[in-house]
Structure 1
Amino acid sequence: MPTSPLMRKVRFDVRPWGDGPDPARELLPYIDNVSLVDLVSGFEHAAGYDVPGAYAGIVLDHFNFGDLAAYLTGQPESAYWAKRGVIALLGCDCGEVGCWPLEARVLIDDDLVTWRGFAQPHRPKHDYGSFGPFTFQRNQYERAVREAAALTSSP
C-alpha cells in the first residue's frame, strides 16, 4: 500500500542581496522554515562534496526568469529551462544563476506540488537522489508563489 508523502510548507522570501546603497533582490525558498540553501548545504557537507553550499537564492535583478509564477510552477518561458524540464531554485552565491545552480523538476498534480530530481549541473557525478523529494499541498504552494510574485512586482 503506497504511503502518503510527507507534506512540507514552502515560502519564498524576497530580501536584499549584495552590498551598496541599492542592493539587488534575492528570492530564497524556505521549506518548513529552513532555507533551501541550508538544507542543500547540510546534504552536500554530509556527502563530502566539494564546494558545499555555495548557493544563494535567485537574484531577481540578475536573472530573466520571465513570469515568476509560471517559472516557479515549472513552466519557464525561457527556452533553455523549458527544454531541460527543470528550473533553478537556487543560484550561485556570486549572484549568477548559471554559475552554480541547484536545479529540480517541479511536478504538479491535482492536489500536490513536488520538487524532485535535484541536480548540480556542473557536478553531474554528485548524486542528489536522497535529497528530497519535497512535496507541498498545491493550494499552499500556489499561495506562496502568488505572495512572492506580488512582492517582486512592487516597486
Structure 2
Amino acid sequence: FAVIAADPRLFGQKMNPAEKYFQLEELEDAETATTEVFLHTDQTVSVGETDGPLHIQASGTWSRLDNGGLSMTLSRTFRAGTEKEDFTAIGEFEFTVERQFTGEMTMVGGKVAVSGAVVAIDEVLGDKEVGFFNMIDTTDERGDAAAAPPL
C-alpha cells in the first residue's frame, strides 16, 4: 500500500501529534470500533476506552514517517474461552493481536487527523492489509481531563 503525505508546509507545532488524545476509528472486515489513544512524547501509546472487543492489556508505539505521515503499532491481549469443565473443552486462553496503522497526517478543522491502512502483523502467515483507520485529535474536547493519559 502507498502512504501519501500531507503538504510539508502544514507541519509545525500544530501538526505535532505528541501529548494528544485521539479518537481512533478502526474499520476491519465488517466491524467498526472506536478507541481512545494517547500519544506520548516518548513515542509510546496509552490505550483507553473502546467500544470494540475488550482487551485485558494493550500497549503501543508511534513515530513520524520521513514523508510526514504517521505510523502506530498497537498490541492488544484478549481473553477468551471458559473454564475447562470436561476433557472436550479447551478452557480459558489469552491471545495477542498486533496491528500497524500507517497513514497521512493532515489538519481538519484546526485539529490533527490521520487516515490510512491497517495491517495485521503476523510472524507466521505474513503481514496483511486488513482495513482502514481514521484518527482525530480530541484533546481540546476533554477540558481539564486532558492532564492525565488514559489507563
Higher normalized strand content (fraction of residues) = 2
TM-score after normalising by structure 1: 0.35
Where relative contact order (Cα < 8 A, 6+ residues apart) is larger, the structure is: 2
Higher normalized helix content (fraction of residues) = 1
TM-score after normalising by structure 2: 0.36
